[in-house]
Amino acid sequence: MSSSVGIVKAQRATFDTPLTFKSGAVLPRYELMYETYGTLNADKSNAILICHALSGHHHVAGYYADDTKNIGWWDNMVGPGKPIDTLKFFVIGLNNLGGCHGSTGPSSIDPATGKPYGSSFPVVTVEDWVNAQARLADQLGIQRFAAIVGGSLGGMQAMQWALAYPDRVAHVLAIATAPHLTAQNIAFNDVARSAILTDPEFHGGDFYQHGVVPTRGLRLARMLGHITYLSDDAMADKFGRELRHGKLNFSYDIEFQIESYLRYQGDKFAAYFDANTYLLMTKALDYFDPARDLNGDLDRAFSAAKAKFLVVSFTTDWRFSPARSHEIVHALLHNRLDVSYAEVTSDHGHDSFLMEDAQYMTVMKNYLDRVGEECKQ
């Protein structure tokens, strides 16, 4: 596609005002890692916030001078001439609280004890994240975002912005997301968590002090997640029933290519991701439900929103299916909010939102071009 934003640098923001979590827990001080691309215009009206999903972070686009192969996770979407055009917009990516990429999280040192937070790190919710993001925006001098964009768990944050800070976001782009998880979805998360929680090396979350990592649990959690992010068809296309050694070995070693792929993905992930962060992220997914205190009335939940919305789903995404996006669209319609909805035909399941699909890219680009025109006015 178009060119890259090039060399980028991660930055660290420090917050000394205590943050009270939804659970009641208080974090006296915390740090957030972030990156920015593009230039903030004079009236600070062209900022776009990118909210990441379960395993994402602040490195959204470009690459590092000392690590040119480390390309941002949404580099196909964010860059000069790309749908989230860094020639027009000032784009911010951050690593959420509880993350494991430099923002304060379970693996960070708790200044009160001199040890990693581990099990004492508060359970964090989408609401807490958005509050922390709002403080980052304050620090960067951004009163109102031109758009907040997120896929999956990131889409939940983008929607939460419209509910909690209706005057601070003009457009919400909620992609491959849901107004709350279904029981089946929570069930998948619980199996993933169980894999971690029952790993003997988890030590109740305080494995850092033991010098071990619950790799087996984390690996299983990721393998399960991966299955649910792909579609049946995509998996069949990519792997089929292909055997690694061309014949049956009558053993429990890797035989089918899909096994090889899943184990590889599991190992890769377990080598860098923090088990406590994984637990927190899945919990935040499970808890998000803006209609919970309103007898499940999503229309009322969205009544505070003022933003304009673009909702996108993918036909083969069964973890965050189009039907879940329809729920969002109808709640917005009933509140007479501006909303467009694209249901993109794609083979790649939930992972589609990270892929480069022509229709998806066109929809995003067309929508954001209009957002860009509003910034100029």
Judged by the rule CB under 8 A, the positions of this chain that interact with other proteins are 310, 326, 329-330, 333-334, 336, 338-345, 359, 362-363, 366-367, 369-370
**Separation of CA 42 from chain center:** 29
**Separation between Cα atoms, residue 23 and residue 46, nearest integer Å:** 34
Q: How far is the CB of 52 from other proteins (least distance, A)?
A: 24
Which residue in 274, 317, 347, 351 is the catalytic one? 317
Nearer to other proteins, 44 or 330 (CB): 330
- Is 203 an annotated catalytic residue? no
Nearer to other proteins, 144 or 334 (CB): 334
- Is 45 an annotated catalytic residue? no
Nearer to other proteins, 243 or 361 (CB): 361
60, 38 Cβ separation under 8 angstroms: no
Question: What is the 3-state secondary structure of 18-56?
Answer: CEECCCCCEECCEEEEEEEECCCCCCCCCEEEEECCCCC
- Is 3 an annotated catalytic residue? no
Which residue in 52, 58, 348, 350 is the catalytic one? 350
Which residue in 4, 107, 108, 152 is the catalytic one? 152
With a CB cutoff of 8 Å and minimum separation 6, the contacts of 153 are 51, 52, 53, 54, 126, 177, 281, 284, 285, 288
Q: 336, exposed or middle or buried, with CB in 10 Å at 0-12, 13-18, 19+?
A: exposed
Nearer to other proteins, 268 or 370 (CB): 370
Q: How far is the CB of 300 from other proteins (least distance, A)?
A: 14
Structure tokens at 37: 């691309």
Q: How far is the CB of 336 from other proteins (least distance, A)?
A: 5
Q: How far is the CB of 85 from other proteins (least distance, A)?
A: 15
**Which residues are annotated as catalytic?**
152, 317, 350
